[in-house]
Structure 1
Amino acid sequence: MRSTVPERDAALAWDVARPSRSSRVAGLSMAGFRARATGPIDLRAIPHPAVTLVLESGNGPLVVDNATGRQQRGSLVARLAFGGVRVRGEKIECVQVRLSPVVARAVLGVSPAELDHAVVALDDLWGREVSRIRERLGQARSWQERFAVTDALLVRRREAGPSVDPEVAWIWTRIVGSRGRARIDELALEIGWSRKRLWSRFRSQIGLSPKRAARLVRFDHAAHRLAAGEGAARVAAEEGYTDQSHLHRDILAFSGVTPGTVAGEPWLAVDGTAWAGS
């Protein structure tokens, strides 16, 4: 597998690197991003069904603004279904990690439900450890060394952290496997839980209700199909939306833009390179 990917499209803001091997933590994938030297970056971030962890290693700073005007700089965590987030900066270099919410609780040390903002500074969760991580990543001589440092850190945290209920993990797996089209009440019956118990345990450990999690997974598939050039009517029909208006509402709710706009977002255009096969 190639470590780096050359520039192919002027609309893409990043040079991207991928690990030569999978993480030792199931449900975790990572990629390296280096800002191209053509000027400042200002991109709309598109939500994904994973908790996003960004470990800064370059000259930065990486600046993130959300819809409420709150701003974060440096290493950070973005919760599931974050909305209205923009990424800015120059000379940014970082390792981005996508964490399944099933393992996010252990790795972060807190449940995703406890993240009180769309984006949270990692220093607020891990304290001084963040400075040590940044220093080690900055001293690494290659992307593969950075990935090894990151993986070792996350393996250690995963082993020390609390797990989610096996039933919650199973429900999440079924939601993802069905592309967000599983019937939540039927899943609750399969594990022998009441709807109220499932909603409560799932939300407290994953950070979203089961229904909203399913909507997020379905949105992700739809947004990527739109970015690949497929028509909105076909995507709506094949991804389980009632009609094209239903698709429009969900795309707008999660991304803040229309299906036509989300189809051209550079944030999605890089996904095939950064996260292929993950």
Structure 2
Amino acid sequence: MRSAEPAHGAAAAAVWDIATPARRPGRLRGLAMAGFRARTTDPVDLGVVPYPAVTVAVDVGDGSLAVDDAGGGRHTGGVVVGLGTHGVRGRGRDIGCLQLRLSPVLAYEVLGPAAELSGRAVPLDALWGRAAERTQERLRAARSWSERFAIAETALAERRAAGPAVDPEIAYIWRELVARRGAVRVERLADEVGWSRQRVWSRFREQIGLGPKRAAQLVRFDHAAHRLAAGQSAARVAAESGYADQSHLHRDVMAFAGVTPTAVALAPWLAVDEVAWAAPAYLSGDRRRAAAR
């Protein structure tokens, strides 16, 4: 990852200073972190495009940050956005925010049962209790993004050490879905791990938060959305991303993002990805830990 110094993406430079951790081996596989600070005191209102990772956002600034969900809930302080959640918006002024992206494998190990997060945004303290408040206080008091990244990684590592582990078979299926950008039959993966289709569906939903077919669709959508944001035509993206046709792409984008492929291509949230999230978080969890359990 990049140095923990502010960086500017071409489309996001007018709005955000973005910091990412310095290059070093991380203790936690499946974790990506970025710090965001608004470069303007004007109100910010951004729709969040669904992503194949669980997102944790912690307000560390002097301004205001609120995360609104599709159900009308408003969350402040720290919030967790579950896998595939749509209709989420970030709003505020003079924002300073630490954002973590966790692979669903790691998210299960540090946040608990994925069913509690599926398609939802929930306060971090609902999952971590008083530990969430203590961690947020330390993050706000930190003097640099580097210090905040270290605090966050330590907190996650401690939770993970005491948390449940994803079945190695489920971790393998998730990695294969990602590696093949969703273009693989889940029945084939069930055969590869020696499980019944019913068992795969049940355990995958329990530990990842979505059914395997829906998870594959989310991974495919994410790949397509970034190609659209890079300026590729919807027809080309549909043809090269595993969709039956352009109408199929349109339906999938509408289902996940609630807007057309044209609108997704212009989404401000995607504009920062090449700066903030150059190393995708959703690729895997810790394979050695999964295999050892």
> Could you tell me which of 165, 181, 195 is aligned with 1:179?
181
For the 8 Å contact 1:48–1:216, the answer to whether it is kept is yes
Q: Deviations over 1:39-79 (max 9, x none)?
A: 01100000110011112211243211122212211201000
Aligned length: 277
2:269 matched residue in structure 1: 267
1:92 counterpart residue number: 95
Equivalent of 1:233 in 219, 232, 235? 235
Which residue in the other structure is 2:30 paired with?
27
Deviation, 1:219, is 0.2
Letter in 2 for 1:269: A
Match of 1:77 in 2: 80
CA separation of 1:8 and 1:243: change in aligned 2, threshold 3 A: closer
Code of the residue aligned with 1:83 in structure 2: it is H
Higher mean C-alpha displacement, 95-104 vs 58-67:
58-67
1:34-53 to 2 correspondences below 5 Å: 34-53=37-56
TM-score normalised per structure 1: 0.95
5+ long unaligned stretches in structure 1 = none
Quote the Cα distance in structure 1 between the aligned partners of 2:177 and 2:196. 17
Where 1:199 maps in the other structure, the secondary structure is: helix
What SS class does the counterpart of residue 91 from structure 2 fall into? strand
* Structure 2: gaps (5+ residues): 281-293
Partner secondary structure for residue 226 of structure 2: helix
TM-score scaled by length of structure 2: 0.91
- CA contact under 8 A between 1:12 and 1:270: conserved in structure 2? no
Counterpart secondary structure, 1:88: strand
Q: Which residue of 2 aligns with 1:58?
A: 61
**What is the Cα deviation at residue 120 of structure 1?**
0.2
Following superposition, the deviation at residue 115 of structure 1 comes to: 2.5
Distance across 2 between alignment mates of 1:87 and 1:260:
21
Deviation at 1:168, TM superposition (A): 0.4
Q: Which moved more, 1:157-166 or 1:168-177?
A: 157-166
**Who is 1:277 aligned against?**
279
Residues 228-255 of structure 1 deviation map (CA, whole Å, 9 limit, x = unaligned): 0000000001000000000000011001
Whether the 8 Å contact between 1:251 and 1:257 is mirrored in structure 2 is yes
| Deviates further, 133-142 or 253-262 | 133-142
Separation (CA, whole Å) in 1 of partners of 2:72 and 2:178: 32
Indicate if the aligned counterparts of 2:16 and 2:36 stay in contact, CA closer than 8 A. yes
Q: Partners of 2:242 and 2:27 in 1: how far apart?
A: 34
**Match in the other structure for 1:212:** 214
Q: Does 1:115 align with 2:114?
A: no
Using the alignment, how far apart are the partners of 1:242 and 1:14 within structure 2?
A: 37
Aligned to 2:286: none
Q: 5 Å matches for 1:140-179?
A: 140-179=142-181
Q: Residue by residue, what CA displacement relative to the aligned partner does 1:197-228 show, whole Å, maximum 9, x if unpaired?
A: 11001001111000000000000000000000
Distance 1:249 1:30, change over 3 A: same
Decide which of 237, 251, 258 is 1:256's aligned counterpart: 258
How far is the alpha carbon of 1:9 from its aligned partner?
3.6
Partner of 2:284: none
Higher relative contact order (CA 8 A, sep 6+): 2
Contact 2:11 2:271 in 1 (8 A): no
* 2:201 aligned residue (199, 202, 208): 199
Note closer, same or farther for the CA distance 1:7–1:197 as it changes in structure 2 (3 Å cut): closer
Aligned residue for 2:143, secondary structure, equals: coil
Secondary structure in structure 2 of the residue aligned to 1:189 = helix
* Distance (whole Å) between structure 1 residues aligned to residue 144 and residue 46 of structure 2: 26
Say if 2:84 and 2:119, in contact at 8 Å, map to a contact too: no
Specify the code of the residue in structure 2 equivalent to 1:66: D
Between 1:1-10 and 1:227-236, the stretch displaced more is 1-10
Equivalent position amino acid for 1:178 in 2? R
| 1:179 aligned partner, one-letter code | R
Q: CA RMSD in A?
A: 1.5
Q: One-letter code of the match for 1:89?
A: G
